[in-house]
Each structure stands twice: as structure tokens, then as C-alpha cells.
Chains A and B, each alone.
Chain A
Amino acid sequence: MYRQGDVLIMPVAEDSVPARALEDAGEPRDGRGRLVLALGEVTGHAHAVQGPGRLVRERGEFGPMLLHLPQGGRVVHEEHAAIPLPKGWFRVIRQREYVPGSVARVVAD
């Protein structure tokens, strides 16, 4: 399990990945060829992965998302140190905050 700011990257066993996700074409890469795990709407800062891999969005605006890195990779962000990741599948989770009487909202750093 790895954490970069408001994003948690949790290893998941390949045999527990839904078949749907194994076949999914995955999210498109950004203009710089990166897989964007989370984007800061105003600063444009992003938690992103370079290199081979796929990001599969399961449902909802902010995920959950599954990340597949067949050769491992590195998650980078403008304000946080990069984190090397081993190969495999990961669940990408955005941090949220408790909001009384409404749905929890996502934290964006």
C-alpha cells in the first residue's frame, strides 16, 4: 500500500480483478502520455504514472479505479516525491472527507 498525498494505491491480487477490468481498453492518457490517477482542477497538478500500463475506471466520477502495471512504474506529482511501484494490479483511492448530511466529498491537493 502506497500513499501520495490524497491518493492511496493499494495492491490487489490479479485473481480478484473483475473480468470486465481485464478486458477494458482503459482510460486515455493525457497530453503528456501519462495515466492520470487524479487531477487538481485548478493547479493542473496531477498524480500520474508514466510508462506501460492501464488505468480502468470502474464507476463514478472519482473512481474507484484499477491500475495495471505489467512492468511496474512510478507515480509522480508536482508537490510530492515520486513513489516506485512494483508490477501488478492496484486499486487507486481518492481521499474523502466526512460531510454531515450529504455524500462525502473528495479531497484535492
Chain B
Amino acid sequence: MTTPTDALTGSVTDPEAAAAGAADAPAGLTKLTPLSTDDWRAVAAATGAADRAAAEAGVRLAYRAAGLAEPRRVLWAESPCAAVALLQTSENLGRSVREEVRTGPWEAERARAHEELGPAGYAALWSATGGRLWEPTRALTDRIRAGIVEELGDDPKLRLLLLDAVLGQHDAAWLAALAGRGTALDGLAEVARHASWWWPYEETVVICERPVELHRDEAGRLDRGDGPALAFPDGFALYAWRGMPVPADFLAGLADLTPDRIRAEENAELRRVMLEFYGYDRYLADSGAEPVHRDETGVLWRIALDGDEDVAMVEVVNSTAEPDGTFRTYWLRVPPGTRTAREGVAWTFGVTAQEYMPVRQT
């Protein structure tokens, strides 16, 4: 495809053209307005087709900002896994330029911010921006890497290819902290806004499509009971229930679970997923469990499992009524040694039964 190279270079290096560019971005490149942390949160979670023209324009911008010639070839892959498979068989990629394109500019911007703001100011910047996005995106990228290794087999060459990746949308945490302060990271930010992982080599760049499915629970963990929690257009997918990786065919079996089937499952982690899916309350009722202790904080239940520690749970009633006037009951698992409901509820907040004394709860 043709590249509006001159217009792009002009908008970056020439202040007048840059001012004009802000109002009228060159074709294929969106306006380089700084994004808020919430916007970056949305970038990290974005699904749906990549904007290929915008992502490619971002790549070229990043290469030029690093003082490199633009890559001769742009290859698109339907998932990070497909990209790695493609890279394993590709020749004439040239050397990896990740250091120049991504790590160098990132470190320079970080050093500049650190120098301008001082250690406390930099820490405040990070905690207001990237620090809020770090855990969920890191957990997601770890899972994707693990999924690729599982799919393609573990070998040192594959691990090296994974290290060559630039994480695109999943670099949102540090981009939230550092992008938009100057122009050095504009190209990287632009790719991140429009595509997923990418691999920069001297001759060739490989860019990935974004996921088509991403389902997470309230705590940001991958979570879906009736399909993949993360899926890319080519079918590369990760299955998880409340963050716990599960085999794809495991979910299909959840629909017709029985207490006996749950008791018979030998893998403790999968049994826990089954229990959660089935519902502790339903399991308690169906398995004839008896309450062990009851006080003003709630009810303590215990289920004995063969070859495993007991499941101890506190049943707690929400203090605020639902819109229909009822009070929602919920169960929290507590350590098996718990003896009273109060001790269990106190444990969920990390305090002792004697300390746990709310004067007001809603």
C-alpha cells in the first residue's frame, strides 16, 4: 500500500505541520491526542477487528522515531499464537528491532519522567495511571503466553520469539503512564490503540488482530462458563472460570453436574470450579449439609470431602436490601479450621473474631 510518509514525517518533526496535523491527521493515522487512564483501560480490553491502516501507520511512525527504515513487509496474523507459528517458519525477517522501537524509547521516557517528577512524583504518576492497569493486563498476557506454549509446544526458540513481542493493546499500563508526554512513544501508542501484539524485525513486521471475545469477572480475571473467556478470530482461545484455567471440554460438562460427580473429581482445583459453578448453596442443600454454627454475623457450614480438606463456608446476608426488598445471601469460603461464623467472617477481613465489631454496616 502507499504510505503518506512525507506528511507523517512532517507532522512529527515540523512544529507548524504538527499543529496542522493535530487538527487534520494524515490518512491512516488518528489524531495523537493523549488518552486518559480509563481510555487505556478500554484499549487493553478492546475486542473486534484491528484498524489495520492505523496500526501500520503507527508501526512506521515507531520505526522512523527509532531512526530505522520502515519495514518492507507487513504481515497480519489472526492471533498471537498464529503470529508465533508464522515467525517460526519465516525467513529473511532481519534482526529483531524491539530494543530500538520499543524498549529504548520507553526507557528514555521513563527516565525523563523520573527526572522531571522526582521519585515521589513518578510513583504518584504510576499509581494514578499504569499501576491501576498493571495487574489485569499482566495476568492476561501471562495467560496468552502460556496458551501459546501449550498450543505450539515448549522450546527455547519459541520462548525467545515470545520475548520479541511488543504487546500492543496489552502495553496499556505503561503507555497510560508515559505516552502523550512527547512524541517518542506516539507510534507505539498508535499501534496499541488499533491492534494487539506485534513483532518488529528489520525487514518485516508481524501484527496481530485483537481478540473477538474477552470475558472477565468483577475482579478482572478471565471468566466464562459457556465458552472461551478469550478468543481470537482464528479460534486460538483460553478457557477460564473466575481466573482459573480450565480445559475447553471441561466447561461443557458443567451443565449437568451432580453432587456425586463433584465428589468424584480428583483434581482439587477443578472440583473447586465445579463447586462454584454448581453453587455452594445448592450443593449444601443437595448434599444434606448441616449448619455448624450460627450467630449474629451469619451461619457457618462445613462439607467433608474424601481425600481433601473440608469446605468451610460462612453464609452472610447483605445488609442493604436489593431493589425488590429482599436481602441477598452469599457464601464465602473460609479456612477449614474455622469454628464459628463470627471467626469466619472476621477472617475474610483479616481480623480476629474479638476485633470484628462493626458499629454500622450497609
Q: Chain A residues in contact with chain B, CB under 8 A?
A: 1-5, 8, 10, 25, 27-28, 31, 40-43, 57, 61, 77, 79-83, 93, 95-101, 105-109
A/B interface sample: 19 pairs, CB < 8 A:
A3-B360, A8-B349, A8-B351, A10-B351, A25-B124, A31-B38, A41-B217, A61-B135, A79-B320, A81-B320, A96-B348, A96-B349, A97-B332, A98-B312, A99-B272, A100-B268, A100-B309, A101-B269, A106-B219
Contacts of B320 on A, CB cut-off 8 Å? 5, 79-81
The 8 Å CB contact of B359, one of A2, A40, A41, A43, is A2
The 8 Å CB contact of B136, one of A40, A41, A80, is A41
Chain A CB within 8 A of B127 CB: yes
Report B142-183 CB contacts with A as 1/0, cut-off 8 Å. 000000000000000000000000000000000000000000
Minimum Cβ distance to chain B for residue A63 (Å): 10
B218–A3 touching, CB < 8 Å:
no
Given A1-B359, A8-B358, A100-B272: A93 and B351 interface contact (C-beta under 8 Å): yes
Q: Which of B329-362 contact A (CB under 8 A)?
A: 332-335, 347-351, 355-362
Contacts of B348 on A, CB cut-off 8 Å? 95-97, 107
B356–A1 touching, CB < 8 Å:
yes
Contacts of A97 on B, CB cut-off 8 Å? 332-334, 348
Minimum Cβ distance to chain A for residue B262 (Å): 15
A80–B127 touching, CB < 8 Å:
no
Given A31-B38, A79-B320, A100-B268: A41 and B357 interface contact (C-beta under 8 Å): no
Nearest CB to that of B123 among chain A residues?
A25
Measured as residues with beta carbon below 8 angstroms from the partner, the interface class of chain B is 35 or more
**Interface of A (DSSP majority class):** loop
B120–A93 touching, CB < 8 Å:
no
Contacts of A43 on B, CB cut-off 8 Å? 218
Contacts of A41 on B, CB cut-off 8 Å? 136, 216-220
Contacts of B74 on A, CB cut-off 8 Å? none
Given A98-B347, A100-B268: A2 and B333 interface contact (C-beta under 8 Å): no
Chain A CB within 8 A of B318 CB: yes
Specify which of B36, B128, B309, B333 lies most central, judged by the most chain A CB atoms within 10 Å of its CB: B333
- 9 nearest A-B residue pairs (beta carbon): A28-B128, A81-B362, A108-B218, A3-B361, A41-B220, A3-B358, A8-B349, A80-B362, A108-B219
Given contacts A100-B272, A109-B218, 6 further A-B contacts (CB under 8 A): A5-B318, A5-B362, A42-B218, A81-B320, A93-B349, A99-B333
Please measure, in the bound complex, the distance between the C-alpha atom of A81 and the C-alpha atom of B319, giving whole angstroms.
Answer: 9
Nearest CB to that of B38 among chain A residues?
A31
Please measure, in the bound complex, the distance between the C-alpha atom of A2 and the C-alpha atom of B359, giving whole angstroms.
Answer: 6
Contacts of A25 on B, CB cut-off 8 Å? 120, 124
